[in-house]
Amino acid sequence: MKILVIGLGSMGKRRLRCLKYIEENDNSKFELFGYDKSIIRVNESESLFNIKKYDNYEAYFKNNIDLIIISTPPQYHEFYIFDSIKRNIKFFVEAGVFNNNTSLVENKLFQNNVIGMPSSTLYFHPAIRKISEIVNSGKLGKISNIFYHSGQYLPDWHSYEHVKDYYVSNKDTGGAREIVPFELTWLVKIFGFPIYVSGNYKKTIEIEGAEIIDDTYNLVLDYDSFSINMTVDVVSRYATRNLTINGSLFQLTWSWDTNNILIKSNSNDPEIETINIETMNPADGYNKNITEEMYVDEIREFINYNTDYKNEIVNNFYLDNNTIEILNNLEEAYDNKKYVKFVNIGILIHIRLESTRLKEKHIIKVKDKYLLEYQILRIKNQIDKLENINPKIILNVSDISRDKYYNLLYEICKKHNIHLFFGNNNSIPMRILECSDYYGLTHIVSVDGDDILVSGEQITNICHNMYNNPNLEYIYSKDLPLGMNIAGFSYQVLKKSLKNSNEHNDTGWGYIFDNVKKTVLNINIKVDNYDKIRLTLDYEIDLHLFQNILENNSYYISDSELINYINNNELYKINESIIQEYWDNFNKNKTH
């Protein structure tokens, strides 16, 4: 395997060191190449790691490079990201502080089916992985607040060069500012994304050579039912990472100094559970707590992640963009002395192509389009009218469909510029959770793929309501015909509801929200015979109704026009004979 490392400063050398370790311990064989604009760094890396070098950048690509690792300063990431995509080469990029046109990166990766992985080093720390396991198990009880301090001293970063000589002394890439997303990647992986961001950032002391940077960032991340308070600074003379998680049952603390996780119940109880974390030794010249293990495991994951756009990867550009957006929101919040909303809405279309009653129903063609395409276009027609809200449309497919239908679904999503996700085979709500974790969603609009003519108008209403009031737990429309109503809910409510549920499947899974506070939309249209109209695709006779409608109307027909068309032509009679059978099957198969 031929691997090119671009940027041979401290991080580039660290990545080469990791690759050498993996070679020696994983029975792997790499041919290593290194590029840097500094010939001194290139020669150092050649001496240390026996890399191959060339006089100019283009010459490296005559070697059929398999993987690229981008370890340049953050301001150069964007160029090499897009260059890697253009060359169709899988790439890894270090943590950054710029959005790097992330929405375009996401689109290009999907359109070109290229794999790109942004760094999330700390999530690979053995202690943080264990903390994630404990939190997700529910052992601590209901989380109330989290306190985290990440402190370092900037002049200690590189003993071999002055801070003024590298990117940490620049305002946009300053040491503290750079560390904020570096820390957030693991925090949001465990706790999800907040709905409000506030805090402050400032310069507190003089650091020679870094006079213009802000050296301290304080963040408050509001999750409605709990909050995270995080301080990141580069003025701590003693490097530290300290975490406290308060739960209703236990308190968890961790310090990377002792590398022990402590779980405590109350002050009067002497019982303290201590979990010792074993780590690899640091490389020479680094802080004793900076284990090489997390860097090795991260690069190992990158090398092994080489499948058809699967979702097992720890970090991706959707999540990376969100973490940097939190940083930007913090700065906006402090500059304007206000809370800033953090809302990332996903419109998830759930399909399962293995239906027993009507096989491959979503990819049946009517005129020149698949039925699934009519649904996508109907939704897009409405959300394109939204201002200041940019929800992602995601086709959320059971994993069992991947091998047989991947290429077709990929082409449909590529054609209509929407996203594609494969997940849990047996449970729609679990698949929604997996998808939400992958894209870093804070709110979800749930669309049944059988509801070809779902109300795009109510989808936009739900998006508006969730954006304007991120604290909404669950919002839905009612009194529209079956197959047109829609529901939306927050990520945190979904996660909590699934924890409180013993079983959940594809039929009738909405019961998991029975104990959630619900908000009803006002649909503002008069609907006659709504209980007689059936607009969901389950039987052959349902298909006849959709064919009649779509062959005689545009997919963007309004809700009121659609209902009037059905009533005026008594089309509801086409499939009224199976309404009772449908509900009998539904009640028989639903989980609760």
- Residue 253 belongs to a domain with what CATH number? 3.30.360.10
Domain boundary among 285, 302, 336: 336
Checking if the pLDDT of 308 tops 60, the result is no
Q: Are residues 444 and 579 in the same domain?
A: yes
- Pairwise CA distance, residues 530 & 408, whole Å: 35
**Residues 6 or more apart in contact with residue 311 via CB below 8 angstroms:** 421, 422, 423, 434, 435, 438
Radius of gyration of the chain from its Cα atoms, rounded to whole angstroms:
26
Checking if the pLDDT of 384 tops 70, the result is yes
Q: Which residue has the higher pLDDT, 361 or 581?
A: 361
Do residues 67 and 160 lie in contact, with contact meaning Cβ atoms separated by under 8 Å? no
**Residues 6 or more apart in contact with residue 413 via CB below 8 angstroms:** 110, 395, 419, 420
Give how many domains the chain has, as a whole number. 3
pLDDT tens by residue, 429-465: 999 999 999 999 999 999 999 999 999 999 999 999 9
Q: Give the mean pLDDT of the chain.
A: 91
Q: Hey, what amino acid is at 181?
A: P
* Confidence grade of residue 546 (pLDDT, cut at 50, 70, 90): very high
Domain that holds residue 90: 2-117
Which stretches within 337-455 are classed as H helix? 371-383, 402-416, 428-439
Query: Where in 376-504 does DSSP place strands (E)?
Result: 392-398, 419-423, 443-448, 474-476, 487-490
Provide the pLDDT for residue 586: 63
Helix or strand run (H / E) with residue 549: helix 540-552
- Pairwise CA distance, residues 399 & 524, whole Å: 38
Q: How many CA atoms lie within 13 A of 184 on its CB side?
A: 30
Checking if the pLDDT of 426 tops 60, the result is yes
- Pairwise CA distance, residues 4 & 486, whole Å: 48
Q: Are residues 283 and 384 in the same domain?
A: no
Q: Are residues 102 and 168 in the same domain?
A: no
Q: Are residues 260 and 283 in the same domain?
A: yes
Helix or strand run (H / E) with residue 348: strand 345-351
* Confidence grade of residue 283 (pLDDT, cut at 50, 70, 90): low
- Residue 370 belongs to a domain with what CATH number? 3.90.550.10
Q: Are residues 156 and 253 in the same domain?
A: yes
**Residues 6 or more apart in contact with residue 340 via CB below 8 angstroms:** 196, 197, 198, 329, 330, 332, 333
Beta bridge partners of 228: 146, 221
Averaged pLDDT for residues 332-336: 94
Q: Are residues 150 and 249 in the same domain?
A: yes
186-195, 351-360, 401-410: lowest mean pLDDT where? 351-360
- Pairwise CA distance, residues 347 & 419, whole Å: 10
Provide the pLDDT for residue 309: 47
pLDDT tens by residue, 194-247: 999 999 999 999 999 999 999 999 999 999 999 999 999 999 999 999 999 999
Provide the pLDDT for residue 312: 66
Checking if the pLDDT of 392 tops 70, the result is yes
Q: Are residues 84 and 152 in the same domain?
A: no
Whole-model pTM? 0.88
Q: Are residues 358 and 493 in the same domain?
A: yes
Q: Are residues 458 and 490 in the same domain?
A: yes
- Pairwise CA distance, residues 331 & 337, whole Å: 10
Provide the pLDDT for residue 285: 61
Q: Are residues 300 and 442 in the same domain?
A: no
Q: Are residues 549 and 503 in the same domain?
A: yes
Of 474, 450, 485, 471, nearest in space to 563 by CA: 485
Query: Where in 71-184 does DSSP place strands (E)?
Result: 90-93, 116-118, 143-153
pLDDT tens by residue, 63-122: 999 999 999 999 999 999 999 999 999 999 998 887 767 778 888 888 888 999 999 999
Q: Are residues 373 and 289 in the same domain?
A: no
Of 450, 423, 127, nearest in space to 290 by CA: 127
- Pairwise CA distance, residues 243 & 144, whole Å: 14
Domain boundary among 314, 336, 358: 336
Domain boundary among 117, 139, 166: 117
